[in-house]
């Protein structure tokens, strides 16, 4: 399969072959030269992803449109003088409202049938961050992660502590079950991850974790929001809110990952990516993901 054949007529990256496994991807085709020029000229730019894994045909249009809309919302903020953090929060807000993504309203259910979300936001230029994990009954965990980053002495807050903090942030608790979207019931009976599951099995599951990287000309930032694995154990925390695992940024690059969280955590993958130069990371994103 040639590089040209990987893209459809609309410029959507249709699939990637990795060690003989088909990994569905839905990424806008972007010229490497264009990205390099944007970075060198300090022109604001933003990248949004909607997760990896199996995407049913009936959801393709919705997911692609939602990612485009999300990126557009964030980009308008950058063009109007907003900073990277504001752009990421706004972009991920849109996806957290969309039931077709595994975050916010569309979050996967845990073993008890409840929503349990993780989110992280990091300003790589200032090396500050905020995360929430295993939090329920709030509408926008990415906004709570931002509140932690900007107003709280600790880096990560979990469970009931995060819900209590939501009151301080002016976020209302929602009634139990309010965040359960109709679409998640299709996936409720999928098996949990086990060490016996192969890579091929994992890629067929629905990983709809969302992420965003933004550059406002001065600040590199990244955000990730997720509902975690389907049927996960109560209290399970994935890679997304863990700095250096699913989310990380420095002054040169940002990285938001999606996939099988336990493997990402063991590798400390996002920090590893960011230990390289910005241009090398862009090379990887353009040609392998």
Q: Enumerate the active-site residues.
A: 209
Residue 74 assigned ligand-binding role? no
Residue 48 assigned ligand-binding role? no
d(CA 117, CA 178): 14
Query: Pairing relation of β-strands 156-158 and 117-123?
Result: unpaired
d(CA 131, CA 9): 39
Q: Any idea which residue has 């995360």 for tokens? A: 131
Q: Which residues pair with 130 in a beta bridge?
A: 121
CA distances to 82, 138, 144, 171, 174 from 167, in Å: 26, 10, 10, 5, 11
Residue 239 assigned ligand-binding role? yes
CA distances to 90, 217, 221, 224, 281 from 252, in Å: 22, 11, 10, 18, 10
Quickly list DSSP for 173-194: PPPTTTT--GGGGGGTTSPPP-
Residue 36 assigned ligand-binding role? no
Distance from the Cα of residue 19 to its chain's centroid = 24
Residue 261 assigned ligand-binding role? yes
d(CA 204, CA 188): 15
Q: Are 208 and 103 in contact (CB under 8 A)?
A: yes
Q: Any idea which residue has 């975690």 for tokens? A: 228
**Nearest Cα to Cα of residue 226 among 237, 215, 235, 218:** 237
Residue 11 assigned ligand-binding role? no
Both structure tokens of 245:
């695992």
Enumerate helices (H) and strands (E) in the chain, giving the number of each. Answer: 9, 10
Q: Are 68 and 199 in contact (CB under 8 A)?
A: no
- Which positions make up the binding site? 236-239, 258-261
- Which positions make up the binding site for substrate? 236-239, 258-261
């Amino acid at each position: 399969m040639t590089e040209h054949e990987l893209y459809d007529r609309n410029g959507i990256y249709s699939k990637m072959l990795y060690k003989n496994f088909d990994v569905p991807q839905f990424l806008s085709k972007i010229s490497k030269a264009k990205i390099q020029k944007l970075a060198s000229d300090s022109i604001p730019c933003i990248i949004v992803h909607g997760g990896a894994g199996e995407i049913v045909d009936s959801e393709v249009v919705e997911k692609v449109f939602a990612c485009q809309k999300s990126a557009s919302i964030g980009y308008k903020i950058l063009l109007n003088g907003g900073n990277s953090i504001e752009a990421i929060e706004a972009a991920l807000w849109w996806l957290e409202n969309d039931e077709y993504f595994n975050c916010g309203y569309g979050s996967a259910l845990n073993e008890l049938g409840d929503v349990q979300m993780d989110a992280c936001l990091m300003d790589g230029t200032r090396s500050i961050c905020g995360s929430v994990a295993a939090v329920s009954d709030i509408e926008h965990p990415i906004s709570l992660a931002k509140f932690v980053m900007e107003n709280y002495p600790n880096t990560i807050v979990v469970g009931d502590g995060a819900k209590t903090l939501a009151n301080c942030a002016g976020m209302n608790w929602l009634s139990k079950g309010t965040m359960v979207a109709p679409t998640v019931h299709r996936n409720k009976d999928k098996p949990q991850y086990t060490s016996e599951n192969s890579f091929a099995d994992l890629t067929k599951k629905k990983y709809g974790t969302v992420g965003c990287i933004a550059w406002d000309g001065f600040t590199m930032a990244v955000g990730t929001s997720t509902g975690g694995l389907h049927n996960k154990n109560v209290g399970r925390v994935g890679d997304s809110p863990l700095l250096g695992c699913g989310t990380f940024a420095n002054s040169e690059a940002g990285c938001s990952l999606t996939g099988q969280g336990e493997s990402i955590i063991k590798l400390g993958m996002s920090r590893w990516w960011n230990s390289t130069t910005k241009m090398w990371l862009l090379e990887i994103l353009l040609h392998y993901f």
